[in-house]
Every structure is written in C-alpha cells, then in structure tokens.
C-alpha cells in the first residue's frame, strides 16, 4: 500500500499544470474579496471648503487652489483650503445554505443535515484614496450559543494604506493568510462544489486568518505580491486526523510568543489565467503550553514550514483549477510526549509532513447557445489526494496511519443564473488507503445540494 501511495503523488504532481481562474474571479487580495458591494451615501464635504473649490475638485495631495478673482496688488494672497475628498462606506457579503446526505454509500447508516453554513457581512470604509478599512463578520451554522454548534467571528478587520500607489501598500489588522486559492477567494459562486475542496480544509486550514502587519502591491501589470508578519500556529492543536487545522488561534487572545512569516506571489499573464505561489514559516511550540512528565515546562520550537502552488484558468467556457500544498512540522516526536499542566498526556500525534493536491475541470454548456449571457451551467469533476500522515517521525508507521491518506472524486453541476448566485449539486466519493473494520473498504459516498450568493 505504501508503494501505491508513493506512486500516486508523483502522478498527481504531473497533473498540476498551470491554469487559472478568469474574469468572474473575486478581486485580488489588495481589493475587497466579497465581490459587488453597496456604496452608502458619501459624507458631505467639510463646510470650510469654499463652494467654488467643491465644484472643481483637485487631487487631495495637490497644492491649494487660488481663487480666480483677487484684489489688485494684494498685501496677502488668500488661498482656498485644500480639497478634501469625501469618504465613502460600502457594504456587501455572502451566504450559503447546504443540504448534505452523509454515507449515502459505504459503511454506516446515512444521515442528512441542512445547514446555513455561512452568513457573512462585509463592511468597508474609504477615508481617502490612500487609506481604507475592510472587515467581514461571519456567522456559521445560523445560531451561536453555549448549547449550539454555531460561531460568530471576525473573519477580517484591517487597515490598508497605499504608500506608493499600486506599487506598495501597508496592511495591519486581522487578514486571511495568503496560502492557496480558497483561503482568500471562498465566496460560494466563485468555486464549484457545495463544500470547499478537502485540500483547502484539511491541509490548508481554511478559513485561516491571523493578526499582524505586512506589505502588498502590484508593481507590474498582472503581477501582485503579499508579505506578512503575523501570529503563529499553536502546536497543542495539531493532530493526525486534521494536521495543523486546529492550530490557528483565530486571533482570540491567541498566544503570539512564536511569530510567522507568510508570502504570496501571483501572476496573471492574460485575462482569465492566474498562477500563484505561496510560502509560510513559523514556530508553533512557543504558542502552546507544554509540559514534560515531571510537570516542568517543555521548551519546543515545533517549526512549521509550508508552500502551496496553484493555478486557475477560464477560457472559452472551460474552467480549470489545480492546487498543491505541503507542510513540514518539526519536533513531532517530542510532541507525543507532551503533557498539560495537570500532568495529563495531550495525546498529540501529528505527521511530520502533510500534503495534498487536486485537479478540477468544468465546462459551461450554455456557452454554445448564448455566449453573451450571464447564465452558466457547468458540469465539473475534481480529483483530490491528501494525506495528513505522509511522513512520520519518532515512531513506526502503523496500519491505522493509512486511513489518513484519502483519494476523493467529486462530480456535479453548478448553475449560475447571474455571476453572483450559484445553485449546486454534487456527489463526493472518498476512499482511504487503509481498510476499515473487518478488512472491508471504508470508502463512502456523500450527496450535496446547496445555494450560495455574494453581493
């Protein structure tokens, strides 16, 4: 089985050829990610600005305007106040409702759920052409209380200041980590399938956000970059089943003794084709409260290093998408011997390397009938492969570890009556490498239906 797994990844890597998503894609990270927004009335111009200046505005950083009519031989030349551009506020958001039938095929009884998975409100404010605020408030699973599964969370809240036009900007606050596709562009109409790809939830812990500061910009046409210093992961949340997913602190009094650096470079050589490369490095050990068997604090670095490569294309009705992500986790052998302050073993057992990738293709069948229509009907198929125990350090591999290496095949249909609304349906077949109880296959099939919108 291990030889089969080792062969699958090179084949998958060969399939990960550059492609990218098109003009319907949400804006780049230097712009709001929620698509169309509603602009509220601008604030009135300050009363101190003369009406003549308001009627003929000049750039905010221009020299003060001089009124045309002046007294002859004036002792002093009165000047008008510099033009102050009116600020503006925008609102928007997205939402998605899901109906899932788990274990439609495979072992175990089937189970159906209906869930308002996400409702997100976007609020932005532009103070000046150079300075703006951007935020997203998210409600997951409709109801949040001590007895419900729902959550209310700030997904993003940051200030952008453009120091040198589009070339260089400073960003500070809570922002999405620039890793992969879905973590930054996850509005429901922007991707196929009811649920997000598993690689973007199991390997890349979307939606992954941290607090910090960084730089962004577009120095050349089609070239964009991001570079951030932020809080790091918490090693106490790492596991065999979910990798680093539960290690991010969601900026809720998250420990920041270990910091992280992340970066993304994105290139759009032509309209409809985008390729991206992301990187991450940080220390997760200092952010965890770890002790040895004697109760003494355990000092572990637990370095985490990762990268992701992705590409999207949307040309002539064909939509292609591919992504590969890899993370290396250090000190995993020592983590298995970690205890909490009460002397209870934490039971941490993460892999020293986790990885995954997918390829996806779709075609708009309505394009042949109405090329200029906003409607789109896209049959799609996606092949995924991911493994949270790809490499193990400090102990021998067991048969149970094979169950964390999973191959998924998803196929379905996406209908967009307009670009901002999507109706979806799909079937997802997931097959772990390892056998289930009694040696039987543990492969399962899930049926999903959903509707999503962005505005």
Write b or e for each residue in 115-140: b if 16 or more Cβ atoms lie within 10 A of its Cβ, otherwise e: bebbbbbbbbbbeeebebebbbbbbb
Mean pLDDT throughout 352-376? 92
Considering only CA atoms, which of 300, 184, 181, 295 is closest in space to residue 233?
A: 300
Which range has the worst mean pLDDT, 289-293, 376-380, 421-425? 289-293
pLDDT at 83 exceeding the cut of 50:
no
- Domain of 328? 2-40+95-454
Asked whether residue 232 is assigned to any structural domain, the reply reads yes
CB atoms within 10 A of CB 186: 21
pLDDT at residue 341, as a whole number: 87
Question: Of the given ranges (66-75, 86-95, 390-399), which has the lowest mean pLDDT?
Answer: 66-75
Strand ranges in 107-178 using DSSP code E only, listed in sequence order: 111-126, 131-140, 151-164, 168-176
Q: Torsions phi, psi of 351, nearest 5?
A: -75, 155
Least confident of 95-99, 347-351, 367-371, 377-381: 367-371
Share in percent of the chain as helix, strand, coil (round to 5)? 10, 45, 45
Please state which of the ranges 78-87, 340-349, 380-389, 416-425 shows the lowest mean pLDDT: 78-87
Q: How far apart are CA 364 and CA 198, in angstroms?
A: 24
Q: Buried b vs exposed e over 283-299: b needs ≥16 C-beta within 10 Å?
A: bbbbbbebbeeeeeebe
Query: pLDDT tens digit string along 259-308?
Result: 999 999 999 999 999 999 999 999 999 999 999 888 899 999 999 999 99
192 found inside a domain: yes
Residue 364 lies in a domain: yes
Q: What is the mean pLDDT of residues 83-103?
A: 88
CB 10 within 8 A of CB 355: no
Q: Which of 4-8, 180-184, 430-434 has the lowest mean pLDDT?
A: 4-8
Asked if residue 59 is part of any domain, the answer here is: no
Listed in order, strand segments (DSSP E) in 284-315 are 303-315
Grade residue 73 by pLDDT with cuts at 50, 70 and 90: very low
In a domain, 314, yes or no: yes
Q: What confidence tier does 437 reach under pLDDT thresholds 50, 70, 90?
A: low
- What are the pLDDT digits (tens) for 322-341? 999 999 999 999 999 999 98
Total of domains in the chain: 1
pTM value is 0.81
Domain contains 60: no
Q: Is 85 contained in some domain?
A: no
- Among 73-82, 125-134, 150-159, 437-446, the least confident range: 73-82
pLDDT confidence of residue 295:
87
What does the pLDDT look like over 178-190, one tens digit per residue?
999 999 999 999 9
pLDDT at 59 over 50: no
Domain CATH code at residue 168: 2.40.160.10
262 inside domain: yes
Confidence of residue 108 (pLDDT cuts 50, 70, 90): confident
Q: What single DSSP character describes residue 46?
A: P
Decide if pLDDT at 29 tops 90.
no
> Cα 373 vs. chain centroid, distance in angstroms?
29
């Amino acid at each position: 089985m291990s030889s089969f797994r080792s062969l699958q990844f090179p084949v998958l890597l060969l399939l990960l050829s550059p492609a990218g998503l098109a003009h319907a894609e949400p804006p780049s990270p230097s712009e709001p990610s929620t698509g169309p927004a509603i602009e509220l009335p601008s604030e009135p111009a300050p009363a101190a600005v003369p009406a003549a200046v308001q009627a003929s505005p000049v750039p905010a950083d221009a020299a003060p305007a001089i009124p045309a009519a002046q007294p002859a031989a004036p002792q002093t030349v009165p000047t008008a106040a510099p033009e102050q551009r009116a600020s503006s506020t925008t609102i928007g958001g997205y939402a998605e409702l899901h109906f899932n039938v788990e274990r439609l095929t495979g072992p175990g009884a089937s189970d159906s759920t209906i869930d308002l998975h996400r409702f997100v409100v976007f609020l932005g404010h532009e103070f000046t052409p150079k300075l703006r605020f951007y935020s997203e408030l998210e409600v997951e699973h409709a109801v949040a209380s001590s007895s419900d599964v729902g959550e209310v969370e700030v997904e993003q809240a940051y200030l952008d200041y453009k120091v040198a036009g589009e070339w260089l900007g400073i960003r500070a606050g809570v922002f999405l980590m620039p890793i992969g596709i879905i973590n930054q562009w996850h509005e429901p109409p922007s991707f196929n399938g009811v649920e997000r790809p598993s690689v973007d939830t199991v390997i890349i812990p979307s939606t992954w956000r941290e607090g910090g500061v960084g730089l962004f910009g577009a120095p050349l046409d089609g070239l964009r970059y991001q570079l951030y210093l932020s809080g790091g992961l918490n090693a106490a949340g790492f596991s065999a089943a979910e990798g680093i997913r539960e290690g991010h602190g969601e900026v809720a009094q998250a420990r920041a003794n270990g910091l992280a650096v992340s970066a993304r470079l994105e290139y759009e050589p032509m309209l409809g084709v985008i390729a991206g490369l992301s990187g991450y490095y940080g220390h997760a050990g200092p952010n965890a409260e770890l002790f040895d068997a004697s109760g003494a604090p355990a000092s572990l670095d637990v370095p985490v290093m990762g990268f992701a490569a992705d590409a999207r294309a949307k040309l002539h009705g064909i939509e292609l998408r591919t992504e590969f992500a890899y993370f290396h986790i250090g000190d995993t052998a020592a983590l298995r011997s970690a205890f909490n302050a009460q002397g209870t073993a934490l039971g941490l057992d993460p892999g020293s390397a986790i990885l995954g990738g997918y390829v996806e293709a779709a075609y708009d069948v309505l394009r042949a009938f109405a090329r200029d229509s906003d409607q789109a009907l896209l049959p799609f198929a996606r092949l995924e492969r991911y493994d949270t125990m790809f490499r193990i350090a400090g102990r021998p591999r067991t048969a149970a570890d094979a169950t964390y290496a999973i191959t998924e095949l998803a196929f379905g249909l996406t209908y967009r009556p307009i670009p901002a609304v999507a109706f979806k349906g799909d079937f997802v077949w997931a097959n772990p490498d390892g056998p289930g109880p009694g040696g039987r296959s543990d492969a399962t099939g899930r049926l999903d239906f959903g509707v999503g919108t962005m505005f």
